[in-house]
């Protein structure tokens, strides 16, 4: 019997499963019902804010320099796709993050850029 505790033993497997099944059946159903109830009654937010960080976080990891014009075009395309919050650049030292050395140029281009207006709140 001791060997059966530490390893699979077909002779005792069905006895163990039946015992476990009958002993815990009510408890298992109770837990399942509670989990199912929580999932069905879960309240989801009516609004989700998506913040696009690709131009800031994603581009700073590129090995080759991405020109300001390309960054600006990328940001404009993201905006045209419907994204309303885009983190476009980072005002950091070019010594630490070389890809952001043109942050002033990108920011200036964006302040002059027209973006689609949404009727959503």
Q: Which residues pair with 51 in a beta bridge?
A: 85
One digit per residue, the tens of pLDDT, for the chain of length 121 reads 444 444 555 554 555 555 555 555 666 666 667 766 766 677 777 888 899 999 999 998 899 999 999 999 999 999 989 888 999 998 889 899 999 999 999 999 988 666 555 555 4
Same domain for 74 and 100:
yes
- 121: in domain: no
- Per the CB < 8 A criterion, the answer to whether 68 and 108 are in contact is no
> Around 109, how many Cα atoms within 13 Å sit in the side-chain half-sphere?
17
Instruction: Using alpha carbons, select from 72, 77, 74, 65 the residue that is nearest to residue 109.
Output: 72
Same domain for 70 and 21:
no
Q: Which two tokens stand for residue 111?
A: 């302040």
What's the confidence (pLDDT) of residue 96?
92
What's the confidence (pLDDT) of residue 19?
54
Q: Which phi and psi (to 5°) does residue 86 adopt?
A: -130, 120
Same domain for 61 and 24:
no
Same domain for 67 and 29:
no
Residue 80's domain comprises 51-111
The whole model's pTM is what? Answer: 0.57
Same domain for 10 and 30:
yes
């Amino acid at each position: 019997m001791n060997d059966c505790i530490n390893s699979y033993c077909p002779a005792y497997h069905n006895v163990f499963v039946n015992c476990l099944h009958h002993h815990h059946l009510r408890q298992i159903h109770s837990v399942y019902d509670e989990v199912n109830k929580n999932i069905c009654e879960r309240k989801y937010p009516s609004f989700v804010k998506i913040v696009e960080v690709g131009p800031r976080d994603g581009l700073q990891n590129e090995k080759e320099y991405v020109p300001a014009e390309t960054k600006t075009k990328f940001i404009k395309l993201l905006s045209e796709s419907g994204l309303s919050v885009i983190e476009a650049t980072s005002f950091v030292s070019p010594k630490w993050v070389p890809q952001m050395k043109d942050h002033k140029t990108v920011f200036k281009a964006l302040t002059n850029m027209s973006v689609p207006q949404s009727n959503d709140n």
